[in-house]
Amino acid sequence: MSRKTEASTPKIDARVRRTREALGDALLTLMQKRPFETITVQQVLDRAGIGRSTFYAHYRDKNDLFLSDLEDFLGPMSTVLLRRREASNRVAPVRELFAHVAEMRQLQAALIAAGKARDFLEMGQEYFARAINQRLAELPSSRTIAAVQRTAMAYAFAGALLSLMSWWVDHDATASPEEMDDLYHQMVWFGVTARSASSVPIKPAT
């Protein structure tokens, strides 16, 4: 996880962005060296070279900083295909995500040790579900699926993406990100085709 994703978050003042990046990078570096619960705000400030008043102008505490850092990563990453207006039938940037995760293996272990992996997975499912839903609505092969069905499928596909990522990391990333991208989208389009062929509708809750 890093703030240096393909596109930045919505435009903010350059100085503010640098401050946020410095604080986020400092926290993530510390998480790779010690348990999250033992990290203090002062340690983050010392590593980032940022003053305490500046920190509290942006964040409530270190947990708020951590969650903000996740959002800064997941927002751009989940919407890569939408912003590119990619012409393929991919619904999620699997190879981009997996390539990034492969570069940050030490941090993945730190997230697990800090008890923060669940935060990443839960937030990730929400972000990727929204982006996948929008992508499905744009693609000719799936845009005719009813909205409630598409939303449900997008949430399931986002969960499958993160489960596949966890499996891949646990198995030492022996397959390439491109191979995992192909596998994921085979599963996605098998599911879309099966759903489209079904005559049983999913009704919205009343």
What confidence tens digit (pLDDT) does each residue in 161-196 have?
A: 999 998 998 888 889 999 999 999 999 999 888 766
CA distance 135 to 156: 14
User: Averaged over 50-71, what is the pLDDT?
Assistant: 94
Domain boundaries, the chain: 1-78, 88-199
* Gyration radius of the chain over CA positions: 19
pTM of the model: 0.83
Query: Between 180 and 115, whose confidence is greater?
Result: 180
Residue type, 140: P
Q: What is the DSSP letter of 12?
A: -
Cβ pair 44, 55 in contact under 8 A: yes
Burial class (CB in 10 A: 0-12, 13-18, 19+), 197: exposed
Cβ pair 143, 125 in contact under 8 A: no
Cβ pair 81, 90 in contact under 8 A: yes
How do residues 7-46 score in pLDDT, each as one tens digit?
Answer: 444 456 888 889 999 999 999 889 888 888 899 999 999 9
For the domain covering 1-78, report its CATH number. 1.10.357.10
* Cβ neighbours for 174, distance < 8 A, ≥ 6 positions apart: none
Residue type, 191: G
